[in-house]
Structure 1
């Protein structure tokens, strides 16, 4: 413990003792003597306290970075030791949680909003197995990447926002400064447009559920392997459906409004390519439109999502018969193969182009709290099975439609 902390605590004790003695109308000789001693000690400690702060200043500066990140590292370490198997057994048999699992659950319960057992999103991440068979979590990627490494939305630059409670608003500048020349000497420069912003909001109105049935045999036979099985199953089910909703959500029947299906609402340009074959020239027109809107300065700043069928058409279309160069070769050369995402989530004949501008993602996905895991021991009671339902509250929004373009009915 730092000397300054020890002195500060002692000063607090002295103040309490002085307060008790000062309140007496007729203190004894011993109490009067104590008053003098405590007063002298208090004044001496004030000098010592200032000296300790000066001496510890360098030490505090060196430790500042560690102190600021220690709590995050400790919590990440707890999540790394979280055992989903404990949650399954707690729901099935009523077994008490212990260790890191119990600490994380208690921490999340403190935030409220869970009917069942709360499970952090990070627990559904893909884990690798090392020689000691100890799960090794991957903690270096954002939530969507970490949960669903193959997510089309994540690879297209969609950003995830972790929200504890309430709604999250994203103000975006819609009008601002104008530049122009003074018409005459001493004349005013143009200043007709006021700075304005518009807001898009993530609201906890949509709930995604993943339902799984665990047989009695699986509970008794799987052992530690049950954890890996639940991770894979939950992650696959949630990842696939959330990815689809981010792009194609209808905005009704409990679904959020997806980026493609909500193009008109979000102000996204949707170019109808009816009867036009997929070529680099067609995609180049959309890239040029991005440039003319000052959204990008280079084609490599665009991320492109297409269906496998469009990739097949591009690869079959020969641009230069003599050299064997295909339309796919031309597209990959300018956009960059690493920026092109193939995904079955995209409907046939649809391409999605996105870009990130000044750190602002083309779309945002809000995830509230964590996975709320609820048990049902009654539906399969006759067979001794267990049903688990994982609930996630999520929403999708596009802050600025200018950063996204859609090409539909290609080919």
Structure 2
């Protein structure tokens, strides 16, 4: 029992005893002494009670903070012990899941329905210590598994916010009003009339499903062990990351794809500026100035740029004509908050001279320029028929993704950035 509760109970007993003694018109000497001792004890207990409440409040805060973070820590611990090879064994041979893998799958099934075995996205991350020296080998001589090459994700580096959604659609009310301040004209004048505060909802809807198919031979299943698990995880993560980067920026909005930021610039209200000039720091500096002029950014360091590798190659050959020459790309990198290069998220240069597109983003007021919603976990399904004759295993991983732009003023598209 808490000390404060014990003190409060004792205080209640003292009040009851005093009530009986105070009601007597002519108390005896013993009763008078008893009243004095009870009164002194009551005053002492009041001081003790305040001290106990202060101490217990600190303990409650510490315990509350521990409870708030305990669930996240426990889930992270479970994910750290998630084994893809158990999932593959369950799909291929009907083995029972056990340990942390079984707990994670049970939690995900309780949160939503899956046709196959749900796999958390965090489990697809490459983990420390998974580099292996063995792979799908010749039994006489072991060779390493060579992972397929995928570019690193650039969406997060451009400030996109990834949002995990359980079910249903999610909307964000975004301010669209232009509230202005004004001055009273004279001693008895009024300030300007109020400006209506308007918002618009930007929604993420589970309308687009992306899938990855993987084919694993019977020989690989029997020989590889942990090496196969690590390779499948990295391969699936890389394939999904590469396609997400492409869809977030270049998605057509048709044929089951989300509407990408660049493709849907007009729909999202993103300013598109035709540069039609050679790539240089001056080209991007003008766009940064436009961000600052509309209060979307306060310094160049608040702005990120997404460029093609060809732009970097071209700018690295251009020197400024000053007393202290410096390459154009170095000048740009020193001023901006970050530069991401991708051949997946941006279309290849075209035309004569060759020209491409660049995208600039900024986070205004803590609001991300792009929202990417992902529904649930990865649904991993086994196809028992396609490779039945060879004893192989075909896996299909499905995930539902959508993207939207909160405020078009936080992005700007530069077209015609010449690299030749």
TM-score normalised by L of structure 2? 0.78
* Residue number in structure 2 paired with 1:392: 399
* Residue number in structure 2 paired with 1:257: 259
Aligned in 2, Cα 1:398/1:132: closer, same or farther, shift over 3 Å?
A: closer
Q: Structure 1 residue 292: deviation in Å? A: 0.4
Q: Structure 1 residue 60: deviation in Å? A: 2.9
Q: Structure 1 residue 56: deviation in Å? A: 5.8
* Residue number in structure 2 paired with 1:358: 365
* Residue number in structure 2 paired with 1:124: 124
Q: Distance in 1 between matches of 2:234 and 2:132?
A: 20
Which structure has the larger Rg over C-alpha atoms?
A: 2
SS at match of 2:316: helix
Q: Structure 1 residue 225: deviation in Å? A: 1.4
Q: Distance in 1 between matches of 2:336 and 2:78?
A: 41
Q: Distance in 2 between matches of 1:290 and 1:179?
A: 21
* Residue number in structure 1 paired with 2:410: 403
Q: Structure 1 residue 176: deviation in Å? A: 5.0
Q: Structure 1 residue 272: deviation in Å? A: 1.2
Q: Distance in 1 between matches of 2:130 and 2:230?
A: 14
SS at match of 1:359: coil
Q: Distance in 2 between matches of 1:124 and 1:149?
A: 16
Q: Distance in 2 between matches of 1:131 and 1:109?
A: 31
Aligned pairs for 1:26-105 within 5 A: 59-105=59-105
* Residue number in structure 1 paired with 2:115: 115
Q: Distance in 2 between matches of 1:302 and 1:166?
A: 33
Aligned pairs for 1:327-342 within 5 A: 327-335=328-336, 339-342=338-341
* Residue number in structure 1 paired with 2:214: 212
Comparing 56-65 and 284-293, the one that deviates more: 56-65
Q: Structure 1 residue 115: deviation in Å? A: 1.1
2:385 to 378, 383, 399: 378
Q: Could you tell me whether the CA contact under 8 Å between 1:317 and 1:327 is conserved in 2?
A: yes
Q: Could you tell me whether the CA contact under 8 Å between 1:268 and 1:401 is conserved in 2?
A: yes
Q: Structure 1 residue 249: deviation in Å? A: 0.5
1:310 aligns with 2:273: no
Aligned in 2, Cα 1:95/1:307: closer, same or farther, shift over 3 Å?
A: same
Aligned in 2, Cα 1:177/1:152: closer, same or farther, shift over 3 Å?
A: same
In structure 1, stretches of 5+ residues that fail to align are 8-49, 134-147
Aligned pairs for 1:191-202 within 5 A: 191-202=193-204
Q: Could you tell me whether the CA contact under 8 Å between 2:112 and 2:166 is conserved in 1?
A: no
Q: Structure 1 residue 331: deviation in Å? A: 1.4
Q: Structure 1 residue 58: deviation in Å? A: 5.1
Q: Could you tell me whether the CA contact under 8 Å between 1:157 and 1:355 is conserved in 2?
A: yes
Q: Distance in 2 between matches of 1:76 and 1:289?
A: 42
* Residue number in structure 2 paired with 1:295: 296
Aligned in 2, Cα 1:3/1:83: closer, same or farther, shift over 3 Å?
A: farther
In structure 2, stretches of 5+ residues that fail to align are 7-48, 134-149, 350-355
SS at match of 1:155: coil
Alignment coverage as a number of residue pairs: 348
1:231 aligns with 2:238: no
* Residue number in structure 2 paired with 1:267: 269
* Residue number in structure 1 paired with 2:32: none
Comparing 340-349 and 165-174, the one that deviates more: 340-349
Q: Distance in 2 between matches of 1:253 and 1:327?
A: 40
Aligned in 2, Cα 1:221/1:315: closer, same or farther, shift over 3 Å?
A: same
Q: Structure 1 residue 61: deviation in Å? A: 3.3
Q: Structure 1 residue 361: deviation in Å? A: 0.6
1:188 aligns with 2:190: yes
Aligned in 2, Cα 1:215/1:3: closer, same or farther, shift over 3 Å?
A: farther
1:240 to 235, 239, 242: 242
Q: Distance in 2 between matches of 1:73 and 1:149?
A: 30
SS at match of 1:115: coil
Q: Distance in 1 between matches of 2:172 and 2:406?
A: 7
Q: Distance in 2 between matches of 1:57 and 1:280?
A: 56
Q: Could you tell me whether the CA contact under 8 Å between 2:182 and 2:191 is conserved in 1?
A: yes
Q: Distance in 2 between matches of 1:189 and 1:286?
A: 35
Q: Runs ≥4 in structure 1, deviation > 6 angstroms?
A: 130-133
